[in-house]
C-alpha cells in the first residue's frame, strides 16, 4: 500500500457519517444520487432497508469524505432507523415541499434525533422537489434558501405550483430548532451540493475523524502513518505474527 505522506502534502481528509431520514418518496435516495453521481431517475424504486454510499467533497482547507446511510422511508422500516443514526455526525431530514404530512414526519425525526442521536449532531432540514413549485425550472429557483430571497413565498396557485409548504414555514421551524435549512431539487440539482457543503462546514473540526497523514512525526512509516493514531488497520498488517514477540 502506498502511503501518501510524501512531498506534495495532500489536504487532510476526514470522514463524516451522515444519515438521511424522512417520509417515503420525499426524494432521499434521489438527493444522494444527485450528490454522488450527478444523476436523476424519474421513477426511483423505494429503498429497502437502507443503502450505503460514500462521496468526497473538497473544502478549501480539507477533504471531507461522506459516509452516507440512505434509509428507507416506508413505515415498516422505521424501527431500524436508530441503527443508522447511531454515531452519525450529521443528518439530513428531508420532506417534500408538495406534501404537508412529510413535514410533520420530518419534525418527528428531528425530535427523535435531538433526543437520541449523538449530542452535537448537525441536522439539516431539507424541503425537496423545489422544481414542482412556482418559478421553478428556471434559474430563479436556484436561490439558496439561506439567502433572504422570498422566492416562492405565499401560496400562489399559479400554473404548476404544487407547493404546499412555504419557505417561511420550513425556515422558521429550522431556526427554532437550530437546524440548517435548504430547499432543493434532486431533479434539477438546485442546492444539492450546497446542503452537503454546509453540513461539512458546520461540523467542528474536532468532531471529525481525521486520517492524520504523517502524524506522529516519522514514527514507523508504512501503513500506520496513514491511519489515525489509534485505529487498528485490519488490512494493513503483515499477516504474520513477528517471531520474537513473546507474551
Partner 1 sequence: MLIYNRSNLLPALVSSKVYQQLEFLAVGSWWIYDKTTFKKIPSSREDVVNDQSIDLRAKRNVMRFLQLAASPESHLAAIEEHGSEPFPAYLQSQFKISEQLQVTLLALTMSPNLPSNTLTSNALTNIHRHLTSVGLFGPGFGAVIPKWGGLAEVAQVACRAGAVGGGVYVLGRGIENTETTSDKEHEHDDEDAEPMIQIRLTDGEKIKSKAVGGSSYDLPVEQQDIAEEVERVSRSISIISSPLDELFPPIAEGAPLPAAAVMVFPSGSLDGGETKEATMHAPVHLMVHTAESGECPAGQCIIYGHTATTTPSRPSLLSFAVSKLLESLTVQPQAQVIWSMQYQQCHPPSTTSKSPDNVFLCQDIFPSLVLEDDVLRDVRSIWESITEKDAKPPFMTFEDREGMDSGEKDDDGDEDIS
Three-class DSSP category at 128: strand
Contact mark string toward partner 1, 62..81, x via CB under 8 A: ---x-x-x-------x-xx-
Contact mark string toward partner 1, 226..245, x via CB under 8 A: xxxxxxxxxxxxxxxxx-xx
In this structure, what C-alpha cell is assigned to residue 123?
A: 441536522
Q: Kindly tell me which residue out of 89, 90, 102, 128 binds ligand GTP, with binding defined by CB under 6 A.
A: 128
Contact mark string toward ligand GTP, 21..60, x via CB under 6 A: -x-xxxxxxx----------xxxx-xx-------------
* Closest to 123 (Cα-Cα) out of 176, 64, 52: 176
In this structure, what C-alpha cell is assigned to residue 131?
A: 422544481
Calpha distance 5→211 (Å, rounded): 11
Q: In angstroms, how far is CA 112 from the centroid of its own chain?
A: 17
DSSP assignment of 11-68: PPEEEEEEEEEESTTSSHHHHHHHHHHS---TTPPPPSSEEEEEEEEE-SS-EEEEEE
Q: Kindly tell me which residue out of 25, 51, 142, 202 binds partner 1, with binding defined by CB under 8 A.
A: 51
Residues near 118 by beta carbon (within 8 Å), at least 6 away in sequence: 86, 87, 88, 89
Q: Tell me how far, at minimum, the Cβ of 122 lies from ligand GTP, in Å.
A: 20
Q: Kindly tell me which residue out of 105, 129, 163, 171 binds ligand GTP, with binding defined by CB under 6 A.
A: 129
Q: Does 45 bind partner 1 (CB under 8 A)?
A: no
Contact mark string toward partner 1, 12..41, x via CB under 8 A: ---x-------------------xxx----
- Indicate the residue among 113 and 225 with the shorter CB distance to ligand GTP: 113
Instruction: State the residues that interact with ligand GTP by CB under 6 A.
Output: 22, 24-30, 41-44, 46-47, 72-74, 128-129, 131-132, 185-187
Amino acid at each position: 500500500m502506498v502511503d501518501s505522506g510524501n512531498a506534495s502534502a495532500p489536504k487532510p481528509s476526514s470522514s463524516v457519517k451522515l444519515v438521511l431520514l424522512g417520509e417515503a418518496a420525499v426524494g432521499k435516495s434521489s438527493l444522494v444520487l444527485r450528490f454522488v453521481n450527478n444523476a436523476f431517475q424519474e421513477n426511483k424504486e423505494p429503498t429497502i432497508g437502507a443503502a450505503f454510499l460514500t462521496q468526497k467533497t473538497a473544502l478549501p482547507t480539507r477533504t471531507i469524505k461522506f459516509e452516507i446511510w440512505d434509509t428507507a422511508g416506508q413505515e415498516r422500516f422505521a424501527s431500524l432507523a436508530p441503527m443508522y443514526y447511531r454515531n452519525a455526525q450529521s443528518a439530513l431530514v428531508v420532506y417534500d415541499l408538495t406534501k404537508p404530512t412529510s413535514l410533520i414526519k420530518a419534525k418527528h425525526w428531528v425530535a427523535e434525533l435531538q433526543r437520541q442521536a449523538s449530542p452535537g449532531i448537525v441536522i439539516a432540514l431539507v424541503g425537496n422537489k423545489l422544481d414542482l413549485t412556482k418559478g421553478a425550472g428556471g434559474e430563479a429557483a436556484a436561490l439558496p434558501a439561506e439567502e433572504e430571497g422570498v422566492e416562492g413565498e405565499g401560496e400562489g396557485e399559479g400554473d404548476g405550483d404544487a407547493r404546499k409548504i412555504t419557505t417561511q414555514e420550513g425556515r422558521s421551524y429550522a431556526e427554532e430548532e437550530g437546524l440548517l435549512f435548504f430547499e432543493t431539487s434532486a431533479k434539477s440539482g438546485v442546492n444539492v451540493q450546497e446542503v452537503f457543503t454546509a453540513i461539512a462546514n458546520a461540523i467542528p473540526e474536532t468532531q471529525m475523524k481525521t486520517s492524520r497523514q504523517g502524524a506522529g512525526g516519522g514514527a514507523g512509516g508504512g501503513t500506520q502513518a496513514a491511519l489515525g493514531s489509534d485505529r487498528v488497520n485490519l488490512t494493513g498488517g503483515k499477516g504474520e505474527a513477528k517471531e520474537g514477540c513473546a507474551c
